[in-house]
Homo-oligomer: A and B are copies of this chain.
Amino acid sequence: MRIRRYPLFLVLLLLLTLPVWSESGTFEVLPASLVDAATALREKALESSDAYSFVASLTTEVGPRLAGSEGDRKAVVWASRKLAEYGLDVSLEKVTVPHWVRGEAAGHIVEPYPHRVELVALGGSIGTPEGGVEAEVLEVESIEALEALEPRQVEGKIVFFNRRMERHPQGAGYRTAVMPRALGPSKAAPMGAVAVLIRSAGTSTHRFGHTGGTRYAEGVRKIPAAALSNTDADLLEAQVATGKTVRFRLELGCRMLADETSANVIGEVRGREKPEEIVLLAAHLDSWDLGTGAMDDGAGCAIVSETGRMIAALEQPPRRTLRILLTANEEFGLSGARAYGQRHADELANHTAALESDFGIGKVFVFRSGVTEDRMPLVRDIERLLAPLGIAHHDMPAFGGADLGPLRPARVPFFDLPQDATHYFDYHHTADDTLDKLSAEDLKQNVAAYVTAAYVLAETTYDLGRAPESAAR
């Protein structure tokens, strides 16, 4: 049996540094009544909110819902019904989305030691010709390393981008790991490569390939691209390390079909005093097709929808309108977010705050805000309300999430409640993104955080102002 031993001094250190929470701190701008109401919502969410059932129902009754697919259509119907059940005013806004189908995928190391390996097509990849593409493998660590080569070294080869993603609570490793996925094919094709393989841009040590969109640059020859599971990338790496010639055969059945119509699903609690002012909570309804999208972004949809349900159930609605936005097609080019930005262009100046939940299922552990320095008294008050949830102030400005991008030029103040993502990239974009990984307790903490922040933002008379100019870029 293995026993982890924790040195005594470390345990003592931990005990000494455990934060002592207090709710008795003085609030700077929020009146006691608002503090009490927000506190009550927070405690109720911790006790009895139920985002888990939302995800269970979505993943069981709908499942995968890639943009343009049958699942996508079902998800729109399902979500409209669900938000109406939750007491929200529901509307649908049509969105045109691409429709890519994965088909079957197979990868074989042909030489020196034949193996069938686990891989998945990158989203948007073209398929291979009948019989696949077979070529010698050229391993590189990064796009920079590829670009340092002569085209004759790349000509006719399958380029294998092989860099391990680093594990990090804020998912920092993803930003580097994702580059070959997004740009690899467009960088390798002009140098003569016939296909691209990448080590999965994820931290899973299980045998799942990690999908995600790749982008073919305008005017560049399209070549097929796939991600090997980390385990199978190890195997390919080991064969390359023998110094022998390594040949690989890639077969992908994917292809792009005609565009389809999907929809953004919107649910509102109309504001009692300033209904034209909007606090927006966003998440995306679409998912990749390999898992059931329980985390990405079933959980996010559940968290913001449950927040909507709790606020809709209040005796009186908050001053401003609370709008829940479940977007179409985040994964495959942000069509839903863009459509929302266009359709609501005139209204964006009245979006007083926006939050997005799309970073997994961990507990929220920091709060980032995107207001000008003079509005920090309100931020500090919200932080006082969030502190009992184990959520700390974070100095970086709020990022807002991919779907809030179109609100950026209008300087909508963003607020982030990011989850601990240490384990998120073990599941993200893989077949393993399924319901059984979720903790109902951690979801309660998420809802508590969102309902606290959203209620204060929708109810306060304090003027939030606009985001700093620097945030509009």
Contacts and interface: CB of A to CB of B under 8 A. Distances in A.
Contact of A436 (B205, B292, B435): B205
Interface stretch (A154-162, A232-240, A260-268, A379-387): A232-240
Given A5-B14, A205-B437, A436-B205, A60 B431 contact: no
Most central of A2, A59, A208, A365 by chain B CB within 10 Å: A2
Interface in A370-393: 390
Nearest to A109: B63
B234 A63 contact: no
Nearest to A241: B60
Interface residues of A, number: 46
Contacts of A305: none
A30 interface: no
Contact of A235 (B11, B60, B363, B431): B60
Contact of A432 (B1, B15, B207): B207
Contacts of A365: 1
A160 to B, nearest CB: 16
A234 B8 contact: no
A447 interface: no
Interface string A88-112: 0000000000000000000000000
Interface string A1-32: 11101101001101100100000000000000
B435 A234 contact: yes
B2 A420 contact: yes
A206 B2 contact: no
B431 A113 contact: no
Most central of A18, A206, A390, A434 by chain B CB within 10 Å: A206
Q: Which 6 A-B pairs have the closest CB atoms?
A: A231-B434, A206-B206, A60-B238, A61-B113, A207-B431, A63-B115
18 contacts: A1-B390, A3-B18, A60-B235, A60-B238, A60-B239, A61-B113, A118-B431, A205-B437, A206-B206, A206-B208, A207-B431, A207-B432, A207-B434, A231-B432, A231-B435, A231-B436, A234-B434, A234-B436
